[in-house]
Structure 1
Amino acid sequence: MTATILVVEDEVIIGMDIKNSLKKLGYNVPAVVATGEKAIEKAAIIQPDLILMDIMLKGKMDGVEAAEKIRTELKFPVVFLTAHTDQTTLQRAKETEPFGYIVKPFQEKDLHTTVEIALARCKAESEIRKALEKERELNELKSRFVSMVSHEFRTPMSTILFSADLLGMYINQWSEEKKMTHLQRIQSAIQRMIEMLDDILVIGKAEAGKLDFKPRPLNLEKFCRELVEDIQNADKNQHPLNVNIQDTLTEVKMDDKLLRHIIINLLTNATKYSPGKTPVNFSVFCQDNEITFEIKDSGIGIPVEDQERLFDAFHRATNVGSIPGTGLGLAIVKRSVDLHGGTIIVDSKMGIGTTFTVTIPLSKE
């Protein structure tokens, strides 16, 4: 790709000469400007790969001041053009961390060498920044993972240990009914841990790009009603679940495993973060060759500051309090929707409720 270079030179003839030399060397030079103010304005518009900046510009702002503003505000690399410069100005120029100097007058080969070195350095630094950012994200992800595991696994493990200890001490004294109660608590705790591990495996596959997408014919109405029944049983019918599913949705082509992740997670969240007895509305309909799933609750809502990171793995809203959760559900939902080529929109107000709208095109293969 051809590099774009902005030339800042207040001597018109010299500026045009530099432009012609750069164009001859194969670079794109969209403009030559004469002042520091124009350099900042033009750089913001054309987004150059490199700026050649004369140090001794005329006017209120010299090249050093312009370069400093460009470095701090726009983050573009600058190579200084300089002739006879006093030590004070040269020291100021160094403090702007330029990507090189060209001493006027210069040969075309010197110009080419300096520009290529500056562009190469800029590319290398950009790749280093990306690698450091990726490493920072991975470290943050690891930290959140460790925190989630240590917190969320502690409760079911404590339940298992407590019930097992009691069974060991009182197994010959308790009734069959009381023993069965503690066995069921152990089973529920183990099931909770299995679900958390499954979520971790799913998000791990998604992050590695190994989450399979296998659409197949599906009776969507029947599929959704079965999932609603599962949610109602898990919720112990604490929330009225109003279901409106278009009855013509008998044969569609979707990945049932990914779709299960989408619907189960959204409906579970709707019940989990809503006060008891408040309704949850679930609608499914087809329009313009797209299937829309809408889940609406009257729950606690999602703070505005959390909505930006809503689909990040292990991130949980700041207002969830002691409500258990891993912060993986919505991350899995987003990956599953993306694999279907769909979109997900959230509309949430604190203390009023949240609506998730998932739209999936039927033509996606």
Structure 2
Amino acid sequence: MAGEKILVVEDERIVARDIEKRLKKLGYVVPASVASGEDAIQKVAELRPELVLMDIRLKGQMDGVEAAEKIRSDFDTPVVYLTAYADEVTLQRAKATEPFGYIVKPFDERDLHVAIEVALRRQLSETAIRVALEKEKELSELKSRFWSMAAHEIKGPMTSILGCAQLLEQEGHNLTEERRREFLYIIQQSVRSMDQLLNDLLAIGRVEGGSLKFKPAPLDLEKFCRSLVEEIQFSTGLSHPIRFSSRGHCENVCLDQKLLRHILTNLILNAVKYSPEGSPVYLNLDCIAGQVTLEVRDSGIGIPPDAQKHLFEPFHRASNVGKIPGTGLGLTMVKRCLDLHSGEITVESEVGVGTTFVVKLLDPHPMDSFMERSLSG
């Protein structure tokens, strides 16, 4: 593991130079050598070395043990002690700082090398374990939040279904036909809401579990987008006209149709959901020089600036959505699919004006597509 930066803290200059010479011979980098604990702390903050070789007895008011404790707590930098002699009290103080090694002077080059390598590997191991534990904690918290929110989102529609069913059973003979239809409509909408939630959960689960993979294939993207727009328009009704436009050669690009369907469906449905009735939603497609750009634009409620930073986090919803139903999983799914597709997404939004999402995807085989278009044309 040669090449790591090692700070030498030694108050005897001749000894310090000898240690520097040995370290450089072993392939390590010595960015500085200091003689006091105060200087050691300053240099660690400035240089961020991978390891500190620390003499216990130093010049100044702070000895090596105090300096090591400060360095460990503030910078998490491993320390190996160097000393010729220390009384029992000092040794116990040194042990309490949890050093990564302890070398007694005089020492040979091999002892120094072994102590440094053991310390560096221990630091790598501890860092990896700490990162793994932090990720496990984050995952546990995310799962807890995930299922708590899922249960909350399912409970609402179920309560509506149960309430309407009970009223139809108990008061059905006294209700007008119009009132009965209202209750049936609420039941249908609640079932659709639950179905959408379960579909989102299953889709996210497939992505996280690795079963949803990137499988590009030649695709007539313009035809695909027109068909998808017609499908969504049919399901949402005519209250929000979806207007599609296309530029460039989009007839034979190499993309993953399944991932693209997830991306566009979520973006268009969100645009419809958060726009006032009657306002159009726009899907614009550009295919230029091997890059596909898809723009979904609406004139809806917009996204507050503070919410834009968390758009793609699971279950996150902006503060201005009010009672508009949703799970906060749609954009999470969009981001996961784009990551698989090595694509990128940007958003421009203003509250009360509207939102524009821009998706950029690279055609993995633009020249092949160009050749095929040329041959066919």
Equivalent residue, structure 2, for 1:31: 31
- Aligned residue runs from structure 1 range 160-309, under 5 A: 160-169=161-170, 182-239=183-240, 241-246=242-247, 248-309=249-310
Which amino acid counterpart does residue 151 of structure 1 have in structure 2?
H
Which amino acid counterpart does residue 72 of structure 2 have in structure 1?
R
Unaligned stretches of 5+ residues in structure 2: 367-377
Q: Does 1:21 align with 2:22?
A: yes
Inter-CA distance 164–336: structure 2 relative to 1 (3 Å threshold) = same
Equivalent residue, structure 1, for 2:375: none
Which amino acid counterpart does residue 289 of structure 2 have in structure 1?
D
RMSD value, Cα: 3.5
Inter-CA distance 240–47: structure 2 relative to 1 (3 Å threshold) = farther
Equivalent residue, structure 2, for 1:360: 361
Inter-CA distance 14–276: structure 2 relative to 1 (3 Å threshold) = farther
CA displacement at 1:252 relative to structure 2: 2.0
Unaligned stretches of 5+ residues in structure 1: none
CA contact (8 A) 1:311 1:331 kept: yes
Inter-CA distance 53–346: structure 2 relative to 1 (3 Å threshold) = farther
Residue identity (%): 52
Q: How far apart, in 1, do the equivalents of 2:81 and 2:146 lie?
A: 47
Q: How far apart, in 2, do the equivalents of 1:302 and 1:93 lie?
A: 55
Inter-CA distance 67–236: structure 2 relative to 1 (3 Å threshold) = farther
Inter-CA distance 239–65: structure 2 relative to 1 (3 Å threshold) = farther
CA contact (8 A) 1:80 1:98 kept: yes
Equivalent residue, structure 2, for 1:105: 106
Q: Does 1:328 align with 2:336?
A: no
CA contact (8 A) 2:50 2:120 kept: yes
SS at match of 2:251: coil
SS at match of 2:159: helix
Equivalent residue, structure 2, for 1:124: 125
Equivalent residue, structure 2, for 1:51: 52
CA contact (8 A) 1:239 1:278 kept: yes
So what's the TM-score if we normalise by structure 2?
0.80
Equivalent residue, structure 1, for 2:81: 80
Equivalent residue, structure 1, for 2:134: 133
Q: Greater shift after overlay, 342-351 or 250-259? A: 342-351
Inter-CA distance 238–92: structure 2 relative to 1 (3 Å threshold) = farther
CA displacement at 1:168 relative to structure 2: 3.5
CA displacement at 1:136 relative to structure 2: 1.1
So what's the TM-score if we normalise by structure 1?
0.82
CA displacement at 1:360 relative to structure 2: 0.2
Q: Greater shift after overlay, 112-121 or 258-267? A: 112-121
Q: How far apart, in 2, do the equivalents of 1:70 and 1:353 lie?
A: 51
Q: How far apart, in 1, do the equivalents of 2:304 and 2:55 lie?
A: 49
SS at match of 1:317: coil
Q: Greater shift after overlay, 203-212 or 31-40? A: 31-40
CA displacement at 1:357 relative to structure 2: 1.5
CA contact (8 A) 2:249 2:288 kept: no
CA displacement at 1:148 relative to structure 2: 1.5
SS at match of 2:355: strand
SS at match of 1:210: coil
SS at match of 1:211: coil
Q: How far apart, in 1, do the equivalents of 2:136 and 2:250 lie?
A: 45
Q: How far apart, in 1, do the equivalents of 2:93 and 2:351 lie?
A: 51
CA displacement at 1:248 relative to structure 2: 3.9
Inter-CA distance 217–102: structure 2 relative to 1 (3 Å threshold) = same
CA contact (8 A) 1:221 1:247 kept: no
Equivalent residue, structure 1, for 2:372: none
CA contact (8 A) 1:4 1:48 kept: yes
CA displacement at 1:242 relative to structure 2: 4.4
CA displacement at 1:113 relative to structure 2: 4.3
Inter-CA distance 318–175: structure 2 relative to 1 (3 Å threshold) = closer
CA displacement at 1:276 relative to structure 2: 4.2
SS at match of 1:246: strand
Residues 143-187 of structure 1, C-alpha deviation per residue, up to 9 Å, x if partnerless? 212222222112221232233334434667778776666545434
